[in-house]
Structure 1
Amino acid sequence: MQFVAQMERNPMPLSARDLMDKLVSFPTVSRDSNLELIDFVENYLADLGVSATRVPNDDGTKAALYAHIGPQVDGGVVLSGHTDVVPVDGQAWDSDPFTVTEREGRLYGRGTCDMKGFDALALSAVPLALERGIKRPLQIALSYDEEVGCTGAPPMIDHMVAMGMPRADTVLVGEPSMMKVVTGHKGGIGYKMHFRGFEVHSSLAPTGVSAIMMAAKLINWANEVNAENAAKPVTELAADFVPPYTTLHVGTIQGGTAHNITAKDCYFGFDFRIVPGEDIGAWQARFMEKVAELEAEMKAVRPEAGITAEQYFHVPGLVPEAQGKAEALVRQLTGENASNVVSYGTEAGQFQERGYSAVICGPGDIAQAHQPNEFISVDQFRQGEAFISRLVDMLAE
């Protein structure tokens, strides 16, 4: 496959800041399409003489994109980021969230921190790589739907492998880490839950099945398991995480018709954040056993009742690698020697699951992610620019 097209170079590539301004201007909330942003990136790379490959989702409303710059050899670096952002609905912003606004040393806007700031830095590396004549490849990988379970990255990674793109030594996921090297993160699984009850007047509640009240039993089970996990001795692999144990969580819930009718339906999401060293499959089995127990209780009253648990994401944890090439390279570039882990999940674990050496390092503070008035500091963004310049220099050696 031809990953680099020899085309006329754009005489004036955009700066990293200009690129961030442009990327933030696309309101790529996960529930919506990201195709306008992908169109822009694909055209921008084409103007630089670089061809990109799209990997669309099933209905064609979204796409991932990857590109290869430099010689057709193994041993390069993948700069990986996601293009989607979380909603701004109900948040009090002091400025337009889809316009980068600079105030008092901060760059405000949805995605400036998580993680269009890094995406812009990754794209800014392309003209640098072309100018400096890199000897090891630079690869760009931009996914979709990271915010709803990292569901867009796996088909992109699989496509990269299937199409024979030269194998990189390092995958650098630029999630905000204050430019610290992160070598581990929790894994995760998530389920879309639907409890189907049987409606009767609430005065006759024992003859019906309340989907909401049965769902509450599963949610209470989550609280009990969280307390159980918190009380266990902390394992060595989990010790650096906050919290240092696996957590279960329900964030939204919908259901019911009226206060005096047993609820026919209840819908909610049920997520696990699993520390390294624990078996995701074992947690799945324990969860489904509890679901089956509750479903049997419901059907004993009304056979029509039941539970559907649809798994919608599965994110493997990122496990620290013994003598990992990604960690060694990024530590060399940053000079940072501390060991760091994070509790959120990323595509780093998905790359690692497919045999890549992966690490997380990016500008910005994760505490700003998803917040109203999200920002990245100008200083962090400049540190990111300096990091990218050093990386390209290393690839040119």
Structure 2
Amino acid sequence: MQASATPNAHPQLDAAISHLADLIAYDTTSAYSNLELIHHMENFFTGLGANVTVLPDESGEKANLVARLGPADVAGIVLSGHTDVVPANPKSWQSDPFKMEQRGSRLFGRGTCDMKGFAACVMAAAPAFTSGELQRPLYFCFSHDEEVGCLGAPAIARYLAELKVPPSLAIIGEPSEMKLINGQKGKIAMRVTMRGEGGHSSFSPQHVNAVEYASRIITMIAERSRRYEQEGPFDLDFTVPHATTLTTMIEGGVATNVTPDTCSFIFELRSIDQEAAATDIQALINDIEAALLPEMQRQSADSAIEWQELFAYPAMGDATDSKMFKELEPILPKRGGKVSYGSEGGVFEIDGGIPSVILGPGSIRQAHKPDEFIEIDQLSQCLAFFDELNTWMER
């Protein structure tokens, strides 16, 4: 179903909605290739006369895109988004998640909010950026695999950092309801594998039950989260003003009459203090091993607890003291504090030396859910901001 804008809407809104429908139709779930979408965007920006660079990953199945409009010899601004989306189970949706559908003032589809809505607005606004004479460059950057650990963004950040004149500010278009976000938590994701001793469950007292020991570790992780909640450290600008730990996935056991000898689970730490995150993880590991490992190995010397870091991305610091931010601040929306969800802002900051903020259409509360949607008015607000940015960039 093709959506349409209201008669008095932003002039580029119909174009944004059309672009969004095109982008939603590409199933760029992180497990799949994003190359078709990247080639679609490459053709679009090339057609506008942009300088376009495609950065493939090692597999050749994924790629990032960097497109520049404006001069290359002065510092500019990055508009950044990711192309991948989280999985969508069609049985949980009222409509096809990869065919955009309008219901009233909302546009439904996987990625409408997180974050193809921002990409669609960028594409709708891009022709206007070419109609005048930009005094600074705009870099349109679109990455792969943000949802599984910000895997693509480091290559973009390094590419930009190696330019003769790198950009001075990145605007990450994650859904923020078009409020300016000046901080974001970092994350470490860990896989824990319990190695016990199994056998017929009628002899369970003689075994090391990997599932039961995993459950005890999960309890200790939950207790650590409660300590963060009670003891801090705190930063009240965040939506959740302290660090959190959470177990998210678990797998173990083979039958109801077998003592499980292996169990694996995944947990995360979302931190407000990037420097303390690795120390906190190691302290948690030390406490768990001291409490449980001797007990396990008294029963079976081969018992073990294995730890694997799956991925980590850095927190995004406060860019509001940077020179480019201060210059741009008069046209920026009001501040909305700091957020607990992740973004590529910290990657641009750490890997590229580019101060970053978050500013994009849609609400994070709609992300990663069945029947994900974005309000059409959010697209209009984003396009209106791009109008102001265009005028500012031509000064």
TM above 0.5, yes or no, is yes
* Compared CA separation, residues 255 and 37, structure 1 to 2 (3 A): same
Q: Does 1:213 align with 2:207?
A: no
- Which secondary structure state, in structure 1, belongs to the residue aligned with residue 309 of structure 2? strand
Gapped regions of structure 2 (runs ≥ 5):
1-13
- Which secondary structure state, in structure 2, belongs to the residue aligned with residue 250 of structure 1? strand
Aligned mate of 1:378, from 371, 376, 379: 376
Q: Which residue of 1 aligns with 2:9?
A: none
1:327 shift after superposition: 4.2
**Identical-pair percentage:** 36
Q: Which residue of 2 aligns with 1:8?
A: none
Gapped regions of structure 1 (runs ≥ 5):
1-13
- Which secondary structure state, in structure 2, belongs to the residue aligned with residue 98 of structure 1? coil
- Checking the alignment, whether the CA contact within 8 Å between 1:185 and 1:276 is kept in structure 2 is no
**Partner letter of residue 253 of structure 1?**
I
Q: Which residue of 2 aligns with 1:157?
A: 157
- Provide, for residues 286-325 of structure 1, a one-character-per-residue CA deviation record: whole Å limited to 9, x for no partner: 1332454344543343233323322122111112245234
Q: Does 1:105 align with 2:109?
A: no
* Compared CA separation, residues 100 and 330, structure 1 to 2 (3 A): farther
- Which secondary structure state, in structure 1, belongs to the residue aligned with residue 149 of structure 2? coil
- Which secondary structure state, in structure 2, belongs to the residue aligned with residue 340 of structure 1? coil
1:148 shift after superposition: 1.5
**Partner letter of residue 63 of structure 1?**
A
**Partner letter of residue 113 of structure 1?**
C
Structure 2 CA distance for aligned equivalents of residues 165 and 20 of structure 1: 34
Structure 1 CA distance for aligned equivalents of residues 71 and 90 of structure 2: 48
Q: Does 1:323 align with 2:348?
A: no
- Provide, for residues 188-221 of structure 1, a one-character-per-residue CA deviation record: whole Å limited to 9, x for no partner: 1111232222221222223322221121121101
- Checking the alignment, whether the CA contact within 8 Å between 1:91 and 1:372 is kept in structure 2 is no
- Checking the alignment, whether the CA contact within 8 Å between 1:179 and 1:384 is kept in structure 2 is yes
Q: Does 1:57 align with 2:57?
A: yes
Q: Which residue of 1 aligns with 2:3?
A: none
Q: How many correspondences in the alignment?
A: 380
1:360 shift after superposition: 0.4
Structure 2 CA distance for aligned equivalents of residues 390 and 92 of structure 1: 39
* Compared CA separation, residues 218 and 23, structure 1 to 2 (3 A): same
Q: Does 1:272 align with 2:269?
A: yes
Structure 2 CA distance for aligned equivalents of residues 298 and 62 of structure 1: 43
* Compared CA separation, residues 127 and 258, structure 1 to 2 (3 A): same
* Compared CA separation, residues 107 and 165, structure 1 to 2 (3 A): farther
Divergent runs of 4+, >6 A: none
Q: Does 1:242 align with 2:243?
A: no
Q: What is the 5 A alignment of 1:28-67?
A: 28-67=28-67
Segment drifting more, 286-295 vs 172-181: 286-295
Q: Does 1:146 align with 2:146?
A: yes
Aligned mate of 2:344, from 333, 344, 347: 347
- Checking the alignment, whether the CA contact within 8 Å between 1:146 and 1:346 is kept in structure 2 is yes
- Which secondary structure state, in structure 1, belongs to the residue aligned with residue 283 of structure 2? helix
Q: Which residue of 1 aligns with 2:279?
A: 282
**Partner letter of residue 22 of structure 1?**
D
- Provide, for residues 81-130 of structure 1, a one-character-per-residue CA deviation record: whole Å limited to 9, x for no partner: 11111111265222211112111111111111110010122233432222
* Compared CA separation, residues 155 and 197, structure 1 to 2 (3 A): farther
- Which secondary structure state, in structure 2, belongs to the residue aligned with residue 223 of structure 1? helix
- Which secondary structure state, in structure 2, belongs to the residue aligned with residue 251 of structure 1? strand
* Compared CA separation, residues 197 and 57, structure 1 to 2 (3 A): farther
Q: Which residue of 1 aligns with 2:128?
A: 128
Structure 2 CA distance for aligned equivalents of residues 99 and 165 of structure 1: 41
- Checking the alignment, whether the CA contact within 8 Å between 2:180 and 2:333 is kept in structure 1 is no
* Compared CA separation, residues 327 and 201, structure 1 to 2 (3 A): farther
1:254 shift after superposition: 1.1
Q: Which residue of 1 aligns with 2:301?
A: 303
* Compared CA separation, residues 326 and 317, structure 1 to 2 (3 A): farther
Structure 1 CA distance for aligned equivalents of residues 295 and 322 of structure 2: 49
1:33 shift after superposition: 1.4
**Partner letter of residue 213 of structure 1?**
E
**Partner letter of residue 43 of structure 1?**
N
Q: Which residue of 2 aligns with 1:184?
A: 183
TM-score relative to the length of structure 1: 0.89
**Partner letter of residue 93 of structure 2?**
W
Q: CA RMSD in A?
A: 2.1
- Which secondary structure state, in structure 2, belongs to the residue aligned with residue 141 of structure 1? strand
**Partner letter of residue 161 of structure 2?**
V
Structure 1 CA distance for aligned equivalents of residues 61 and 240 of structure 2: 37
- Checking the alignment, whether the CA contact within 8 Å between 2:240 and 2:339 is kept in structure 1 is no
* Compared CA separation, residues 102 and 231, structure 1 to 2 (3 A): same
Structure 1 CA distance for aligned equivalents of residues 324 and 283 of structure 2: 34
- Checking the alignment, whether the CA contact within 8 Å between 2:320 and 2:326 is kept in structure 1 is no
